[in-house]
Structure 1
């Protein structure tokens, strides 16, 4: 009879760093399990920025038969909202938890955990509207996805140590930064790296021979311009990126300067991983669906329908426009909500963005719709070094006109962005996703 539990053995977990040992981790887990088992609460809010402590809390809760709710962040109002839906909370003092997390514990050699397959983990996520929604996942679905990652990418990561610049509160970071290395025996550094310089210094300080880096497009875009990983370029085995498309030029620059592969993963909290790609040229736009994912078109449209073992329904309708090719390959044409009407004319925001990105002055761009009742396009543009040099001679109004004239090669006047702002960077969040609401606030 098939077991209804997954088994985690602390002796098989390889933490890197003097402060992070599997024995100490086992002691923390044993200590927290005792606390959780004697607490009547069934559903627990978990927020802890330290990945080492977080992982101990995560597995202790599940092994104690509890369900976990992961908030997006520790902002007071968000935590207040999440607490209304749980029985108790645990973690960092900033959230005023029922049980505060701590590294203090009695010594324990090792521990073997039994994790129920049907244990529930709830993720808070937000779509383009910015309104949080809850996505429920059973532990077995997360572990199944880890099994697929290991089967697909084992050759790219075996023998390396995982380091990450993304948070573990969200599904991408949780899977790639924590569950994958912990359950598949890969070494990992639990420290959270806000800056890639910190990551490089850690690799050198610990004398790590090979590394796998889990990152996001926003962070990788910045590294392509001024790469702090060059001192460890001979140690970088693979880089994973998810959360949005990685600029093709910057992708190839990083692969060349670091002499490593960059694997982009396409998916969402709801669907899990859908597909992946590794670009070799600027024109490699195809994604390869994971073997257990079936893709189709939604009825009478070019929108994506997904059959996946990671979702608890027969078919999931996504908001992405796609072109489905042969042999499990597909192209992403943009999100359905990127096609808008301006004065009864349809235009794709994604397409306008891509046109602008091809301009020699532009490093990054985000196009939004502003105004009510009369709607118009507006563009947030990050200039590259050539563009910044041009601003020494061009006034802002002249720069605006330059980009309007450029876009007029493809779009009639009514569809051209009417307002422009030039921030030093776009409003990416910790997961590397752009905030449409924050972008719109630039034009208030």
Structure 2
């Protein structure tokens, strides 16, 4: 962490907050928190989220980050963590919940960082639930610190003062890493908002006091390149949560003037590799990370930011120099007519078709492939768009058109939402 208390750390409510102000706010908030073991940090403002997480850590409380903000999900998790309370800016709609109102003390004074137990569990993040029940993933502050330092160093951001603008909520691991912990352990500056619409993103970048690094998703980039795109003051683009196709990367580079960099990781591992999509197909691990594969083909990540090796959920192919290709998850592979294909790859090809706004493929009960799309194109036109890239057996026999696909803030489709959508198809 930068020891200079006058160094800018964040923009909060349009004003610059120094690192000394940050720690003053953290200490003041820590003194106000109730004495409880767990805290659900549901703050939407990114600066308030940040000081709430750090204040809880200073008090020895574990910050719980749910996979979704719906109150039904929170209520379900509260049963697993007795003594937990909710922290947010506004009262929950549901009455009777134990909650704490988070407001920035906005101290004009400066302070030094509080004492942290760096090795103690500070955060329990939960997987997205896209493949089933969310899984708890505990991490210490030291894990986040070491990971952030590896990431910004590997991406050439360690000495750059850029505004870090994220379209992903801080409760999601991608948003948490890039927009909270990267600024905390570098010269990057935290932006307190989460612009969702393309015009909001454009205006934020255009009016930012520093050149801006945009951390976004393929879903957001698709919408952003359709607008009056923000070329000026945009210093770089980071993408994650879904595969960035070469087509979308090329369009993004041409329209926004920046070639996107993808980062790769998971809630269990944090990010640990990157690639520039238009130049390299292989992922390069951050310095200090390496993948180890056993005889059965299972792959584990060994890294100085993790207390022990972590088993990857993806199948990968590792090159002699340590770079690797992601082949997909075992449950992602489909077999039809003796041939195999990845649903992720099929989805990527589907969404790359001009005229398809969104879409995904799935296996029907009869074992045949089908698709759901948001598009005005005919089913035949969509099949023709897939034909040059997809084997005949993987062309969807049935294509359903819907008005919208219910994705979450990171562009993912949770298993429960997927099942509900498929049940409604006729």
Normalising by structure 1, report the TM-score.
Answer: 0.82
CA drift of 1:213 comes to: 0.9
Which is helix-richer, 1 or 2? 1
Whether the 8 Å CA contact 2:28–2:105 is kept in 1: the answer is: no
CA drift of 1:274 comes to: 2.8
Q: How does 1:237-276 map to 2 (within 5 A)?
A: 237-276=235-274
The aligned counterpart of 2:217 is: 216
Q: How does 1:5-404 map to 2 (within 5 A)?
A: 11-16=6-11, 18-19=14-15, 21-22=17-18, 25-36=22-33, 39-84=34-79, 85-89=81-85, 90-95=87-92, 96-103=97-104, 107-120=108-121, 121-155=123-157, 158-206=160-208, 208-224=209-225, 226-230=226-230, 233-281=231-279, 284-301=280-297, 303-313=298-308, 315-341=309-335, 347-354=341-348, 356=350, 362=356, 364-371=358-365, 374-383=366-375, 388=376, 391=377, 402=383
Ranges in structure 2 where 5+ consecutive residues have no aligned partner:
none
CA drift of 1:193 comes to: 1.1
CA distance in structure 1 between the partners assigned to 2:352 and 2:173 by the alignment:
32
Whether the 8 Å CA contact 2:42–2:171 is kept in 1: the answer is: yes
CA drift of 1:366 comes to: 1.2
CA drift of 1:7 comes to: 8.8
Aligned CA distance change for structure 1 residues 27 and 319 (closer, same or farther; 3 Å):
closer
Aligned CA distance change for structure 1 residues 411 and 299 (closer, same or farther; 3 Å):
farther
Aligned CA distance change for structure 1 residues 151 and 416 (closer, same or farther; 3 Å):
closer
Bigger shift: 161-170 or 121-130? Answer: 121-130
CA distance in structure 2 between the partners assigned to 1:113 and 1:9 by the alignment:
15
SS across alignment from 1:14: strand
Root-mean-square deviation (Å): 3.1
Q: How many residues align?
A: 414
The aligned counterpart of 1:410 is: 391
Residue deviations 1:277-301 (CA, integer Å, cap 9, x gap): 01235xx321111122211334333
Aligned CA distance change for structure 1 residues 135 and 8 (closer, same or farther; 3 Å):
farther
Whether the 8 Å CA contact 2:29–2:104 is kept in 1: the answer is: no
Whether the 8 Å CA contact 1:165–1:195 is kept in 2: the answer is: no
Whether the 8 Å CA contact 1:267–1:274 is kept in 2: the answer is: yes
SS across alignment from 1:238: strand
Residue deviations 1:73-104 (CA, integer Å, cap 9, x gap): 33121111222304232223344443221235
Aligned CA distance change for structure 1 residues 377 and 16 (closer, same or farther; 3 Å):
same
SS across alignment from 1:169: coil
CA distance in structure 2 between the partners assigned to 1:298 and 1:128 by the alignment:
27
Bigger shift: 212-221 or 431-440? Answer: 431-440
Bigger shift: 251-260 or 167-176? Answer: 251-260
